[in-house]
Amino acid sequence: MRNFLVARLMQAGIVAMVVGALCFLLMRVLPGDAAMRIAAGRYGPDARIAEAADKVRLELGLDRPVLLQFLEWLGGLLRLDLGHSLVTGAPVVDELQVQLGASVWLAASALLISLLIGPVIGIFSGLKPGGIADRTGLVGAVVFRAIPPFVLGLMLMLILSKQLGWLPPAGFGSPREILLPALTLALGLAAMSSRVTRNAVAAVAKTPYFAFARHKGLPEAIVVRRHGIRNAAIPVVSYLGLQAIYLVEGVVVVESLFAYPGIGHALVHAIVERDIPMVQGTALVMGLMFVAIAALVDAISLWLDPRFGRAA
Amino acid sequence: MSTIDNVSLARGRARLSGSRAFGAALLLLLGAFALIGPVIVPTDPAAQDFGASLAPIGGDYALGADHYGRSLLARLAHGARLSFGLAFLTMLAAAVPGVLLGLAAAWRGGGTERLLELLATVVLALPGLMLVLLLLAFSPGNYGPLFLGLSLTLWVEFYRVTRATTKTVLAQPHIEAARMLGFGSGYILRNYVVPVIAPMIATLTAFAMATAIIAVSTLSAISVGLQPPTPELGSIIVELLPYYAEAPLHVLLPALLIFLLVLGLQLVADGDRA
């Protein structure tokens, strides 16, 4: 357990350093004038840009040595101060708090929905390998894996909200509005977890203890519940760990697509406006979110099968 | 963006016989469209003709025209060429250093290996798309950072597979025997290592290209990748989206093209085990 924590904390530290250093490095080789871009982001492209840019440069101290600016950022990070957004002027931490909350909700809902779809299909497929359920599941998984998430999102938007009018296409606040982006993410996740579940269930179904439970006359549902699910869940959960990448990346794409006010949307916005402190801050938070999801999944695997902990 | 998911998924067995052949045929077809298409359809993909705005499929324009009256067939052909080309270059830029570094780590061991492992860990600690986005933040809409960012994330997979496999191969007794018989490193590499790692690298290659195609179109679609005048498949979709009600097929065509490209690559990569 202690090793586990130390490893994860180290990973979090690496993420923070890499993001900070990378942004710093890139800022040095930055083509064009940052002050100009920021001024354009703040006042719109029509304002008298050159004057506005000079004001911005002076106000933000962009003319000081870059190393000094980097050290300041690092020092601020230790005090949990990520600086101020160059565009809105608000503290980055304040903006991130709101957005992180929204993103966590989205990611959690997506994970939940995908768990209602993927493993269920996987169980039905795995109990009768080669059957109709298995083959349909396979085709479905192959198809959904080949559709890029943004295309899937657009298709769901067109079908579920434009054609059928069931769900609002964008917005934020009510559970109905989180459903469409969450479903987009969930279908991609489910396509992958369904096959892993199917293989795990097929493997468990071949074991002697499973056959024995069937032979002694237990109803199929109880056999699956008592002897199948927990054993089959282990590979599925550890596989979901790999999906942390998919989830964090998916959040960026899906949030931008549905104008959902989360971390990913903020990152894309900050990039377009070249709001460097915001880019650094959001990238940092997304990296840490990635580490957190991976850690959570590891902890669940450990709980499902304590043998992992002892072996390590 | 994560090649590793697909590979671990590929280990599962399922039936879909002949799917590898189907994938190869699909890729051949799409490859021909991307390579020959722009040659036999000499229309400029940026040429506008407002008279033909949203022309239907099958009229003067074989696949219709977009809202600026640009030939959709020409734009799709150029888009496919761009996707294929960029994906291929990205794959090369990831595979060559990845495989070479993997071989170096397995062969040399010691400090070289530790250093490379550290580097791989650092890259793996970040989600790939984020690395690309960070690079794009500093020069949006350019090929350079897009290409660099994708290669920087994808090389790790090639490195890890090569290192792990080469290490197990080198640890086997017949290699030791070959060494003691006086065969050189080059001979061992050619005859024992390459035949084992080559099929794995080929699989990773197809997955890396699929990943790159998805990433490039996704980034363009959320407007941080390549910018609109470029006939990029993702941005073609988003540009046409407001006109979905009038011309739904126009929006679906580029989406279908991306889907088939990725499907072909994935089927070729793990064929019967998809």
Q: Answer yes or no: do B134 and A248 touch at CB < 8 A.
A: no
Distances (CA, A) of A247 to A3, A185, B18, B28: 25, 7, 32, 32
Residue B3 CB partners (closer than 8 Å, separation 6+): B154, B157, B204, B207, B208, B211
- State whether residue A68 sits within 8 Å of chain B by CB: no
Q: Which residues between 199 and 258 in chain B have a beta carbon less than 8 angstroms from any beta carbon of chain A?
A: 210, 214, 217-218, 221-224, 234, 237, 241, 244, 251, 255, 258
Q: Are B247 and B65 in contact (CB under 8 A)?
A: no
Average pLDDT, chain A: 77
> ipTM score of the complex?
0.77
- Tokens representing residue B180 in the block: 């003691």
Q: Give the largest CA-CA distance in chain B.
A: 78
Neighbours of B110 (CB within 10 A): 8
Residue B7 CB partners (closer than 8 Å, separation 6+): B157, B161, B203, B204, B207
Stretch among A67-71, A102-106, B45-49 having the lowest mean pLDDT? B45-49
- State whether residue B26 sits within 8 Å of chain A by CB: no
In chain A, the residue whose alpha carbon lies closest to the alpha carbon of B1 is A246
Q: Which residue in B122, B133, B237 is closest to A18 by CB distance?
A: B122
- Per-residue pLDDT of A105-136, as tens digits, reads 888 888 889 888 888 888 888 887 778 888 88
* pLDDT above 70: percentage of residues in chain A: 77
- State whether residue B23 sits within 8 Å of chain A by CB: no
Q: Which residues between 200 and 229 in chain A have a beta carbon less than 8 angstroms from any beta carbon of chain B?
A: none
Residue B272 CB partners (closer than 8 Å, separation 6+): B15, B16, B17, B18, B19, B20
- Residue B99: pLDDT band by 50, 70, 90 thresholds? very high
Average pLDDT over residues B213-242: 80
- Per-residue pLDDT of B174-190, as tens digits, reads 888 888 888 878 888 88
Q: Which of B117, B122, B134 is the best mutation test for A, with the most CBs of A within 10 A? A: B134
Q: Answer yes or no: do A150 and B222 touch at CB < 8 A.
A: yes
- Tokens representing residue A305 in the block: 């099968």
- Per-residue pLDDT of A1-53, as tens digits, reads 667 778 778 878 888 878 777 777 776 665 556 666 666 666 665 556 666 66
- Tokens representing residue B143 in the block: 């090929």
- At residue B152, does pLDDT exceed 70? yes
Residue B238 CB partners (closer than 8 Å, separation 6+): B220, B221, B223
Q: Answer yes or no: do B137 and A195 touch at CB < 8 A.
A: no
Kindly report the nearest CA distance between residue A271 and chain B, in angstroms. Answer: 5
In chain B, the residue whose alpha carbon lies closest to the alpha carbon of A265 is B222
- Give the number of beta-carbon pairs within 8 Å between A and B: 151
* pLDDT above 90: percentage of residues in chain A: 0
- Quote the CA–CA distance of B22 and B28 in Å, as a whole number: 10
Stretch among A12-21, A55-64, A286-295, B154-163 having the lowest mean pLDDT? A55-64
